[in-house]
Amino acid sequence: MTTNQNTILLPEMKEIWQETLNWQPDKTQQQIFQSIYDEILAVNPHLNLTRITEPNEFWEKHLWDSLRGVASLLPSVNSPPKIIDIGTGGGFPGLPVAVIFPQTSVSLLDSTRKKITFIDQLIAKLGINNVETIMGRSEEIARQKQHRQNYDIALIRAVGSASVCAEYALPFLKIGGLAILYRGNWTDKEMEELKPGVKQLGGEIESVEQFTTPLSNSIRHCLYLRLISPTPAKFPRGVGVPAQHPL
Ligand code: SAM
């Protein structure tokens, strides 16, 4: 894709990538990030994909934050993992993950048709061929045979409370699979409240990582939930129930 006069350039931040994630984008990956940014900015007034449009903020809160949750993990995974991003919106965190880990297969799920249509057009335009999209509610899709217990990693950011995210994510995982819940603040009290629900879903909280974002020093947490036994068939509950009556 070409840049034109009106393009707002994303920063490269090579040193920060290197220092924080021990990785930096090559020229092609930087161009793809730029194109994702350009395309999101172009449709954002109509589709309302994100309120984060300023280039440094987009870099930090969409690109860096998306990759921070998985960067240390994916290089050590042996066989190419199957990943699902639940409530992906404009493609975060799943799309940057697919760009830098072309060996993964990434499914981007959202219940809003116009967002999925946008992502379909975007991946076709950019030639990203390790991404597929799924349109629907997580509570329904997770009951479909081809999706239930079918993924190694489930990503979920800004979709609901931690308990709701756990109920959405764990039914998609194979035994031994990992759900990564991207959170802002996280307290011991929230941790205690989350534990019983995760147990009911067949999982355990394996670890919680706290970090600060590199430009604005905002607090972030990633919760890593491991599925240790099959999620009982009654989960996820019907559409809307996890949010109305969290476990
Ligand atoms: N994950 C993206 C991010 O962090 O930028 C988007 C977050 S946006 C606040 C929440 C998204 O989750 C929306 O696009 C919404 O359509 C989707 N969503 C909410 N509940 C859902 C559900 N039960 N199943 C599928 N998608 C859902």
- Give tens-digit pLDDT for 172-230: 999 999 999 999 999 999 999 999 999 999 999 999 999 999 999 999 999 999 999 99
Q: How confident is the model at residue 75 (pLDDT cuts 50, 70, 90)?
A: low
pLDDT at 2: 45
Q: Is the CB of 104 under 6 A from ligand 1?
A: no
On whether the CB atoms of residues 90 and 121 are closer than 8 A, the answer is: no
Burial class of residue 210, CB neighbours in 10 A (0-12, 13-18, 19+): exposed
- Give tens-digit pLDDT for 134-151: 999 999 999 999 999 999
Domain spanning 37-244, CATH class? alpha beta
Site to probe by mutation for ligand 1, drawn from 48, 51, 64, 110 as the one with most ligand atoms within 8 Å of Cβ, is 110
pLDDT at 86: 98
The single-letter DSSP state of residue 105 is E
pLDDT at 6 over 90: no
pLDDT at 1: 43
Domain boundaries, the chain: 37-244
Find the 169 Cα to ligand 1 centroid distance in Å: 12
Mean per-residue pLDDT over the chain, rounded: 95
Atom of ligand 1 nearest to the CA of 50: 5
On whether the CB atoms of residues 49 and 118 are closer than 8 A, the answer is: yes
- CA gap 49, 131 in Å, rounded: 19
Residue identified by tokens 């090559």 is 26
